[in-house]
Structure 1
Amino acid sequence: MFADRSLLKGVGYGVSAGLCWGVIFLGPQLTPGLSGVQFAVLRFLCFGLFSLALLMPRWRRVCSNLTVADWRSLFWLSLIGNLFYYSLVGSGVQLIGIATTSLIVGLIPVLVTLAGRNDANAVSLSRLFPSLCCAVAGVVLISLHALNSGENPNSSASTIVGITCALGALISWSWYAVSNSRRLGVITSVSSHDWSLLTGIMTGAQSLLLAIPAFCFEVETHSISVWLNFLLVGSGVALLSSVVGGACWNQASRLLPLALSGQVLVVETLAALLFGFLWEHRLPDTSELAAIALLVTGVVWCLNCHRAAPGHKPSHQSGEA
């Protein structure tokens, strides 16, 4: 009974995180005057400031527990899992749209689930196979629909670049999710929440170094009101997706095994699709509804597999999308 309640709470936190993270695909569309890299730098500058303010009261105590290896891990996790990943997402959104980008990135749950298949108490791949098939079928169906809809105004070269960016984002955050989980599994002196804030501070510092080359030729290009709009969107995405979404994901990661947490990440794709449809002022068509149904079926099926398992061990994954 306790395990079921813990599992349901973990799924609830995971769903909340996914809804918050769906906003990241909308941000680049709200700032058409910025490139994907520029908006990523702006967002993580804001996230770095938020993280620093939240961690400052216990900064010395937390940092005293970190080793050189921990700081090295923070550097690479922040660079690849945050800054590099979101630069690719932003570029993909601006080149091929929210739907196509979010659905290519939506394959992250499949890669994360496969990576966690050998963890302690993880459900066997044979039992997960039907749910994985549903998730993959949903992503493939709606990706083909988006690519063949004929609504993409960009050139074929831009489309290829956009798809490449989305694939790069898929690989980079899948690596981040697994590597971060593994790292947290061996760290006992720092909580997952503080680790997330440290990641935010490290990403903010890296963004600060990139801010000058990224924006030095853009300052006079836009008016003050436009820059204020960029700042509001960037800080809003940072607060909702990074701070609130990260906090929800920390809780989900403590309650869910890695394989199931990977499946729950499908919610991020669904949220991104919802925001995309709202942005385009339309409802999903039959093919899109069928794909969404397949994705949801895959998640529910995976949940039932874990509920039927003899026990589950929480993962130690701290995330940032």
Structure 2
Amino acid sequence: MTATSPSAPDVTHSHATFAGVICGAGAGALWGLVFLAPELVRTFDPLFLTSGRYLFYGLISAAMLAPRWRHFAATVSAGEWLALMKLGFAGNILYYLLLSTAVQSGGVAMTSLVIGFLPVAVTIVGSRDKGAVSLAKLAPSLLLCAAGAVCIGWQTVAAPSQIPASARLTGLLSAIGALVSWTIYAVGNSRWLRRLDHISAHDWNFLTGVVTGAQSLVLVPLAFLIDHAHHDATEWTQLGLVSLSVAFLASIVGNALWNRMSRLLPLTLTGQMILFETLFALIYGFLWEKRLPHVLEAAAFTLVALSVVTCVGAHRSAGSRAQTVDASHPV
């Protein structure tokens, strides 16, 4: 007997999975930078960083859509604008405000740990979609993910900390809030993208940016009311540069990679790709603290990587039965 070559659908599915994972890793590398941003402008209240980032995001998005604005004004329905407002607030404004507060109050490691549970939350919700890989097949991947998160959490709790208990609690609650906020966004945004046939994923991202930029204007006066500290010209310049960099790298380039990935992978595997954000956030945190990971942290990296590999394997074995859906990250 002669060996038969893989069928065209199987080869296409394998290539799409590989390309999707690469795009997911690239998006995670850029999104991990948002965990460092609050540390770079620690003298400012999180409201300033949130409003600055999304003002730039809105301006860049408006510039990209300007040549076709009349088209979108005529084709985007009132219900879709309302959805954009809700998704922009939950997935961008509220999410990053809570995440920035968590980083400044509890640190990068603790925040990364809590946000690291995003893959579990999204994968569980995604497993209910028609054609999705069952939770039974995803169980090894989810258990490895949870074990990695436990390792990071144990290390964070066991290590001596100079952060007051009240600040750690504030950071923890803020991180949990960010987790809930983004999970709501991811599910809602995914389902909107699936039923849109007249708006591309990239244009939906830019429309979200325009709406979010408009919403961020409300935060500016609130930021000045809450933050009474004096900031010199150097600090304001640093805030502007950090806000612009995060807006472009994370919200524009990172989202573009994520949207490309979302066209190639199902929601259950999309959830696992968020692990790259956690991994890169921790790596950047170690570089910022100028240290190597501890044993438990290294074990967590290994477990999380194995979680992604086993999840990819589960989807590859499912083949063309996996249903491709769209999702977009807020960061």
Please say whether Structure 1 and Structure 2 have the same fold, judged by a TM-score greater than 0.5. Answer: yes
Is the 1:22–1:272 contact (alpha carbons within 8 Å) kept by the matching residues of 2?
yes
Identity of aligned residues (%): 41
Offset, 1:313: 2.5
2:47 to 5, 22, 37: 37
Is the 1:196–1:319 contact (alpha carbons within 8 Å) kept by the matching residues of 2?
no
Map Cα deviations across residues 133-174 of structure 1 (whole Å, 9 max, x no partner). 0001101111121122112x2221111111000000011101
1:119 to 122, 126, 129: 129
Map Cα deviations across residues 17-60 of structure 1 (whole Å, 9 max, x no partner). 11110011000000011122221111111111111111111111
2:99 to 84, 89, 96: 89
Map Cα deviations across residues 2-27 of structure 1 (whole Å, 9 max, x no partner). 11101111111111111110011000
Amino acid at match of 1:78: G
Q: How many residues align?
A: 320
Runs of 4+ residues over 4 Å off in structure 1: 216-220
- What stretches of structure 1 of length at least 5 have no aligned partner? none
Map of 1:144 onto structure 2: 154
Q: Distance in 2 between matches of 1:154 and 1:217?
A: 22
How is 1:190-209 mapped onto 2 (pairs within 5 angstroms)? 190-209=199-218
Residue 239 (1) aligns with residue 248 (2): yes
Map Cα deviations across residues 242-296 of structure 1 (whole Å, 9 max, x no partner). 0000100010011100000100110000000010000000111111000111111
Is the 1:196–1:320 contact (alpha carbons within 8 Å) kept by the matching residues of 2?
no
2:183 to 171, 174, 183: 174
Offset, 1:181: 0.2
SS in 1 for 2:217: helix
TM-score (norm 2): 0.94
Residue 12 (1) aligns with residue 53 (2): no
Map of 1:313 onto structure 2: 323
Larger Rg: 2
TM-score (norm 1): 0.97
Q: Distance in 2 between matches of 1:140 and 1:298?
A: 14
Map of 2:63 onto structure 1: 53
Residue 25 (1) aligns with residue 18 (2): no
2:305 to 293, 296, 299: 296
Amino acid at match of 2:139: F
Map of 1:109 onto structure 2: 119
Q: Distance in 2 between matches of 1:42 and 1:318?
A: 21
Q: Distance in 2 between matches of 1:224 and 1:208?
A: 21
Residue 3 (1) aligns with residue 13 (2): yes
Relative to structure 1, the CA distance from residue 148 to residue 36 in structure 2 (aligned partners, 3 Å threshold; closer, same or farther) is: farther
